[in-house]
């Protein structure tokens, strides 16, 4: 794995007055624990989300950086609460789930149909399952997938893909874009889509005072950090791949294929 553009710890420092991580962390358990083939120092911490607190097990280190809650998780959760109509009736896939905290929050808060996903790594999947259980939630479905590889599901049927704080590695951007292009262009049709409440396809909606043409499937991404101009490479890469990116405010981005269906 390539080195990140910055230290993960720097993500938790206030940088511009707009996007601090509104989280209360209280270490209740801290211990050395052997998980997988590597002994990892883990801690269970209580984090504040809108309307609730969740206990989340985190790693002091994970070689794929799926170890901690990132700032965008908290701000994105607040944004989704304010725009929860986007979640209604949707089958949701989260990319880069890490600890699974955002997916757990959305499942408990809104009862959404959500699947977690992260690198093809047993330790990540086991930790997400653990965090579901300690929050008295049935284990969420999970997809192991390293961006750019062949996706495990040939005909995905997710209406909405979400992610927060995933633009850490510039060299991973082409792989992430490849995965996004597949997910946004290969959705399997479902005859019962309207009955399931998925009626937002090709509708004009207003978000934060901005009118957008909502197309399914679509990708919502929260990116809270500023890393110079390197993150612009992701957005220009999306453009080159035929994807349209729209900023919805609060550094949340709506990404869809350039050509609208219908």
- Is residue 23, in this structure, part of any structural domain at all? no
pLDDT at 24: 36
Query: Cβ distance 116 to 142 under 8 Å?
Result: yes
Ordered strands of the 252-257 beta sheet = 142-144, 113-118, 91-94, 160-164, 218-222, 252-257, 243-247
Q: Give 258's DSSP letter.
A: S
pLDDT at 169: 85
- Is residue 56, in this structure, part of any structural domain at all? no
- Is residue 83, in this structure, part of any structural domain at all? yes
Residue carrying the six token digits 């309207």 = 194
Q: How many domains, in total, are found in the chain?
A: 1
pLDDT at 147: 95
- Is residue 123, in this structure, part of any structural domain at all? yes
Query: Cβ distance 227 to 235 under 8 Å?
Result: no
Domain of residue 122: give its range: 71-257
pLDDT at 243: 96
Nearest to 23 by CA among 5, 1, 4, 49: 49
The CATH number given to whatever domain includes residue 134 is 3.40.50.150
- Is residue 108, in this structure, part of any structural domain at all? yes
C-alpha Rg value of the chain to the nearest Å: 18
- Is residue 54, in this structure, part of any structural domain at all? no
- Is residue 128, in this structure, part of any structural domain at all? yes
pLDDT at 225: 66
pLDDT at 14: 43
Please give the model's pTM, rounded to 2 decimal places: 0.83
Query: Cβ distance 143 to 183 under 8 Å?
Result: no
Strand boundaries in the chain, DSSP class E: 26-35, 38-49, 52-59, 91-94, 113-118, 142-144, 160-164, 203-207, 210-214, 218-222, 243-247, 252-257
- Is residue 138, in this structure, part of any structural domain at all? yes
Nearest to 168 by CA among 101, 118, 220, 96: 96
pLDDT at 226: 60
Walking along the chain (262 residues) 10 residues at a time, the average pLDDT comes out as 43 42 39 46 91 92 72 93 95 96 98 96 93 98 96 94 92 96 86 48 81 91 74 92 93 87 45
Q: Per the structure block, which two tokens stand in for 107?
A: 């499942």
pLDDT at 40: 56
pLDDT at 190: 64
pLDDT at 110: 98
């Amino acid at each position: 794995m390539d080195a990140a553009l910055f230290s993960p710890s720097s993500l938790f420092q206030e940088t511009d007055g707009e996007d601090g991580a509104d989280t209360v962390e209280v270490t209740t358990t801290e211990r050395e624990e052997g998980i997988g083939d590597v002994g990892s120092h883990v801690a269970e911490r209580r984090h504040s989300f809108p309307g609730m607190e969740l206990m989340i097990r985190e790693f002091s280190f994970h070689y794929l950086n799926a170890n901690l809650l990132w700032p965008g998780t908290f701000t994105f959760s607040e944004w989704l609460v304010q725009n929860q109509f986007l979640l209604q009736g949707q089958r949701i896939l989260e990319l880069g789930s890490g600890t699974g905290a955002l997916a757990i929050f959305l499942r408990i808060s809104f009862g959404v149909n959500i699947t977690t996903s992260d690198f093809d790594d047993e330790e990540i999947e086991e930790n997400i399952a653990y965090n579901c259980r300690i929050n008295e939630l049935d284990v969420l479905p999970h997809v192991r997938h390293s961006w750019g590889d062949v996706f495990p599901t040939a005909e995905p049927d997710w209406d909405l893909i979400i992610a927060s704080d995933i633009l850490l590695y510039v060299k991973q951007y082409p792989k992430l874009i490849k995965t996004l292009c597949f997910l946004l262009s290969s959705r399997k049709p479902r005859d019962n889509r309207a009955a399931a409440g998925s009626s937002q396809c090709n509708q004009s909606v207003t978000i934060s005072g901005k009118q957008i043409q909502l197309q399914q499937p679509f990708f919502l991404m929260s990116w809270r950090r500023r890393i110079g101009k390197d993150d612009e490479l992701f957005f220009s890469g999306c453009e080159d791949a035929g994807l349209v990116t729209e900023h919805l405010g609060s550094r949340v981005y709506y990404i869809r294929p350039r050509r609208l269906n219908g």
